[in-house]
Every structure is written in structure tokens, then in C-alpha cells.
Structure 1
Amino acid sequence: MSRKVFIFQNARGEPPGQIVDYLHWHSVSFETISLFCCRDRLPDINWRQVCGLVVLGGPMNVDEVAAYPFLLWERQQIAEAVRREIPILGVCLGAQLLARSLNAKVYPNLVREIGWHRVTLTPDCERDPLFGGASSPATVFQWHGDTFDLPTDAVLLATGHNCRHQAFRFGENAWGLQFHIEVTPQLVRSWM
């Protein structure tokens, strides 16, 4: 049985962008699950097939389960991936869902961050297996109005002027990023 990365896409206008390019480049099989199309029938995940999970962004917040019923299912899948120690990358809403799945509070940020902003990498980031070696400060693309408390036992990897918790790692295999590492120039133009 072939294992693959599952990508949870929460909104039509927020595709995986260059994450797909990265997976192709490294010959990693993947499947994108368009959750915004799955209102009535959510997929069953065969965890023996999963070698990683990417959870993308979206315009909703983590508590809008009445309008977006798949969010509750998604949080359950993220919690199961954490339990199974499957690598997870949460981007923007995906990071907020990861934080909520780890029992952290998610709430409106004091300001919306939209566009290119600087983040400062923490000393822990220098030793991080995924981000170690990245230069600081880094200019990243942001598009979010919510933030989260750092989950218990998580490691803060990046901070920002308007939003303290920009990136974190939980354990050895789960990362949450407020910023959008998946954006391509075309995707940025379509959002702006």
C-alpha cells in the first residue's frame, strides 16, 4: 500500500500552491481533499496510507462549525494525526486548527495582518529540524485575523510585531505557521 501526504484544502481560493511543487520535486505522493466541497460526506481516512498531513488556510475561523461543519471533523483528524505522530504542517487557519486540537485558545488578533510582514525567528527555530538554517528576520506573506495561545509544551519558532505567535512546533512532528509559505506570485495577485 502506497503512503501519501493528505492535504486538507478549506477554501477554493486557497490551494496548496508551491507545497505541491515541493512534493512533486521530492517525488512524494499526495492527495488533496477539498473540504469546502464535502459538506454532506466527509472522507474516511485510512491512517495506514498517511505519511503526512498539510492543513491549509481559509477565510473562516476555527469555531464556525455551524457554517462549515467540516471544521469539527478536521480538528478530530488533526488530533488523531498528532496522536499517531504523523508529520503535520498547519498553515494559517491550519495552524489555528492545530492549536485548537492541542487545546489552545484561538481568538481574534488585535490587528489583521495582510500582505508582506517580517517575522523574527527564535533561537529554538535555529535548532528546528524543519526551519533550522532559515535567516531571521524573514519576510513572509500574511493573511489572517485570528491568533492563538501557544499550546502547552509547544515550542515558539517565530514571533511578529503585530502577532506574537507566528510559528510553533509541537513534539517532533507538528508545525503551525500563521504565515502562508504556500503562496506563489499568481496566488498573491489573486488574493490582493
Structure 2
Amino acid sequence: MRPREFDHDDVLRIAFDQFWRKGVRGTSLSDIARDAGVQRGSLYNAFGSKEALFLQAYERYAGDYLLALQKALGAGSLRKRLTAFFDLTIVNFRSGSPPRGCPTTRGLMELGAVEGEGLDEDARQAFANLISRITALVQDTLSAGAKRGEFNGNPAVAALHIITVTRGLAVLERAFARRGAAAQDRVPHDRSRARQGGRLGVSSRQAR
């Protein structure tokens, strides 16, 4: 029996959503195959490995994200363009429920310290390439703003500062998302204690 054919782009989209939510280590090809409605073996035949599938899915994401950034930085005053850039960036890593964070930041955290552990050098290069291209887009925007008299600093240095701030926001968002998830996990326990306190005739504050 021939392996079931599938929509390559649809599988990449489904796979990346899983990788983004659970990380590469936390995602299996069986998970992706189930959600995509295909056989696990078909994924192996098409991509070779989970890591290779991740790289293709990440490249697809990177292309779409760069197009969105180009649009955000493409019109209006320099202030308007940079505001649109930050808005898009924040919306990107706030997407999902709970928020999924920045996929590049998450991927960097999964790089292996030694060969054979975690994502490899190809992934590192893919992450670095996307960050470099984003930096170049911001630098070009600042250079254009300087020509219009809206900016009098060094575009290259300012672009690096902006990207550094953006990376910092992504890290902070991930930290707060983890704290929020931990707080949600405690809610059922806290509510149980509150109900118990009510049955004993004391307030939830006293029950603690």
C-alpha cells in the first residue's frame, strides 16, 4: 500500500504549532502525525527526522514572519513604523492560550551543549539568520528615517539596541507566562481550601 499523501505546507504548520507550544523535546512525530491525520512513517519518509521537520517548519515560520515585519515597517513615520514593529512582536509571542512566547527564544534554549544533544548547529544557524534579517530590516527603517530627518543616531547601533530590547521582552514574557501557568495550577487547591474554610465558618484569609 502506498503511503498516504499529505499537504506539505499543512503538515509544516501543524508541526510548528506543536513545536512552539511544547518545544522540540516535548513534541513527538506521533503527536504531529495524529494532528495532521497522517502516518508517522510518512513523516519519516518525507523529512527524515523530527529535527529536520522542525527546521523546515521554522523556515516557513521565519518567512511568514519576515513578510509581516516588512509590512509593519513599510509605511508611515519612523515612530509609527517602530511602534508597528513592537506591536507585531508582542502579539507574536503573546499568541496562543496560554501564550506560547517567542519560538526563536524557545528554540535557542533547546540547543545542545554537545553534539548529539538537543537541536544542532543547523538550528543555531537558522535562529541566527532570522535575527540577522530582522536586525537588517530595522536598520534599513532607521536609515530611511534618518534621510527624512526623523532620526539622527547611528542606524546600525540603534538597530542592535532595538533587537536586544525585543529579545529581552521575549524572555520576560516567557518568565511571566510560566509564573501565570504555575498560579493557575494552584487555583484548584486554593479554592478547595477556601471551600473548606467556609464549611468551618472561617474566611478564606483565616483558612490560610
TM-score of the superposed pair, with normalisation by structure 2: 0.26
Larger RCO (alpha carbons 8 Å, 6+ apart) = 1
Where is the helix percentage greater, Structure 1 or Structure 2? 2
The structure number with the bigger radius of gyration is 2
TM-score of the superposed pair, with normalisation by structure 1: 0.27
